[in-house]
Structure 1
Amino acid sequence: MTSLHRLTLAGALLAAAASPAWAEAPLVEMHKDPNCGCCTAWAEHLEEAGFEVRQHETRDMRGVKIEHGVTPGLASCHTAVVDGYVIEGHVPAADIRRLLDERPDLAGLAVPGMPHGSPGMETGRHDDYAVLGWRHDDRTPSVFAEYTHD
């Protein structure tokens, strides 16, 4: 095999290894109350989008939120961590992908409350909602994405 063939083969292998088909699924560690069904539905939404989700059941969600810096104004029913970022509530998978791709200086993303129509909360009703980002050193959230329904 010539040097040119080796370089071509090495380049093809590098490109294949970097493609999404070869990439390892991001691992999401999700903490939820054992009785919460919408949390399980959100986990299924993430799995369908290519994430790996490990569900940890706990009755001390308040303690989990405090540990991860989730303030009451950002709180929802479940708290997750993916690649060092905190994900609070029904954040769409596309926004988590964007977060992981762009890697902004944020502690995490949150969808406060439990808006109807957000992933895991498909009830037939659709509320407008925002995905908020916050930093550890400044707990004032900013809008990361908005979802409106007519």
Structure 2
Amino acid sequence: MIRTASAASSLSSYPAPQAPVILTPPPPPTESGRTARAPYEPFLCHNAVAEDRHSIAVETSTSEYRLIVHLPGFSRDAITLATRRRRILHVVADSWAPGGGHFERRVSFGYDADLSQVRAEFDGDTLRVTIPRRISPITWSSGV
């Protein structure tokens, strides 16, 4: 068996990976006190932090995805990263100090994200999360 670039491009059986998607938080409660179903439920039910102070962005390169999460007012010990179904990265931060709150986002990745190799750094203000991308699958064909 030999590997050829033309065979790999013409016989590729995998579609392009899905771009990362930041899942929206659940809507606020209605007058009846109930919330509509959301893509996910909040982990804790206390005050959410102000959106203007905290943000999340996804940068994509050929070798990795980078999440930049601004979390002023949170400590390193109060930040949790978890993965679900090998495709969703869950970022949670909590602060019980006066004026603190709860920050929670989930980011859905395509099949090319290697969530078993996540790395993170926090400088007291910004959380930087790096998710390596798997090398695209190679199509092997027999030489004719």
Q: TM over 0.5: same fold?
A: no
Structure with the larger RCO, 1 or 2 (CA within 8 Å, 6+ apart): 2
Q: Quick check: which has more Rg, 1 or 2? A: 2
Which structure dedicates a bigger proportion of its chain to helix?
A: 1
TM value normalised by structure 1: 0.27
Which structure dedicates a bigger proportion of its chain to strand?
A: 2
